[in-house]
Amino acid sequence: MTYAPLIDPFARPIDYLRVSVTDRCDFRCTYCMAEHMQFLPKKELLTLEELDRLCSAFVELGVKKLRITGGEPLVRRDIMTFFRAMSRHLESGALRELTLTTNGSQLGRFAADLHALGMRRINVSLDTLDADKFAQITRWGRLEQVKEGLEAAKRAGLKVKINTVALKGFNEDELFPLIDWCANEGHDLTFIEVMPMGEMGDDLRLDQYWPLSDLRKRLAERFTLTELAESTGGPARYVRLEETGQKIGFITPLTHNFCENCNRVRVTCTGELFMCLGQEDNADLRAPLRASADDAALIEAIRGAIARKPKGHDFDYSRQTVSGRMTRHMSHTGG
């Protein structure tokens, strides 16, 4: 059966789905989750079979790009079963891209298999190249393990984009070392402003907030920045550093509202569909999934949710308060 594509109330086609497959992670990054997280009971999570049905329904509705997130997606038991199931949509041509956001810790185990089933590029979250600072911000992570994973990804033929959260007083002094390292390794690099997600304390958020407008000014002191028109379907805006040829991305939810061309929605590991990262409105897709083996109710629930997709989010750090703050952790919604 052929379905009409998903179009939101502002005439934006929705062709990019981000799906969290777990709220669990082997790190406890300070801006993402609390050190002693209470994770969800297994029965609340979508099974791998339910994730297959859900993602396949979105593909039938015109989704062309599928990004798997977490928590850390590669710590979910038997996750490669799900990736292999999704690869059939790549083979059929229905899905243009299957990709992954990871902390890199498990790439040594899985990079070759991911490439073999059709994945060609991945995003790896990495905020520092200093082993001690890495241990501090991830609480449980080891930088060497991530670097070994990145080497495995390169050997497998996976293109890597490094995602770095800009954190005032933490990695400001690593701006140029990060750029140099990515140039040497052949990785693209995107900087992200810290977002007001989770009950981490307003003071912490404001202390960490390093506006990318300031970061760009520092870059411009050393490099010639040329704006690029290209987009990878996400919220990043890109420049080229003329002296090195590198492509550098900026995701600026706080200093620049990137919503006007939003083509994406997110599904949590419990089956909640969030039409906007910065809004609380969501739709329960787990109930229709579990109520019937037929997908008609699921399709109807998806369409009803897309009809409520807002024009934009409400993140704002003006006047030294955090307004538009989301109480759910990033690990719940999916990074």
Q: Is residue 18 annotated as involved in ligand binding?
A: yes
Can you say whether the dihedral through the CA atoms of 121, 125, 130, 135 is positive or negative?
Answer: negative
The single-letter code of the amino acid at 82 is F
**Nearest Cα to 35, choosing from 133, 141, 144, 164?**
141
| The length of the chain, given as a count of residues | 335
Are 128 and 85 a contacting pair, CB within 8 Å? no
Q: Is residue 331 annotated as involved in ligand binding?
A: no
Q: How far apart are CA 12 and CA 245, in angstroms?
A: 32
**Nearest Cα to 142, choosing from 156, 130, 124?**
130
Q: Is residue 161 annotated as involved in ligand binding?
A: yes
Q: Is residue 195 annotated as involved in ligand binding?
A: yes
Are 166 and 210 a contacting pair, CB within 8 Å? yes
Question: Which residues share a beta bridge with 191?
Answer: 164, 250
Q: Is residue 71 annotated as involved in ligand binding?
A: yes
Can you say whether the dihedral through the CA atoms of 262, 272, 120, 125 is positive or negative?
Answer: positive
Q: Is residue 1 annotated as involved in ligand binding?
A: no
Q: Which residue has the tokens 């739709």?
A: 283
Q: Is residue 31 annotated as involved in ligand binding?
A: yes
Using CA atoms, how far residue 134 sits from 13, 123, 170, 208, in Å, is 39, 18, 10, 16
Q: Is residue 19 annotated as involved in ligand binding?
A: no
Name the E strands within the chain.
16-20, 65-69, 97-102, 121-125, 159-166, 188-193, 225-228, 237-241, 246-251, 264-267, 272-274, 282-284
Q: Is residue 67 annotated as involved in ligand binding?
A: yes
Q: Is residue 101 annotated as involved in ligand binding?
A: yes
Q: Is residue 182 annotated as involved in ligand binding?
A: no
Q: Is residue 121 annotated as involved in ligand binding?
A: no
- The binding site for [4Fe-4S] cluster comprises 25, 29, 32, 259, 262, 276
- The binding site comprises 18, 25, 29, 31-32, 67, 71, 101, 125, 161, 195, 259, 262, 264-266, 276
- The binding site for S-adenosyl-L-methionine comprises 31, 71, 125, 195
- The binding site for GTP comprises 18, 67, 101, 161, 264-266
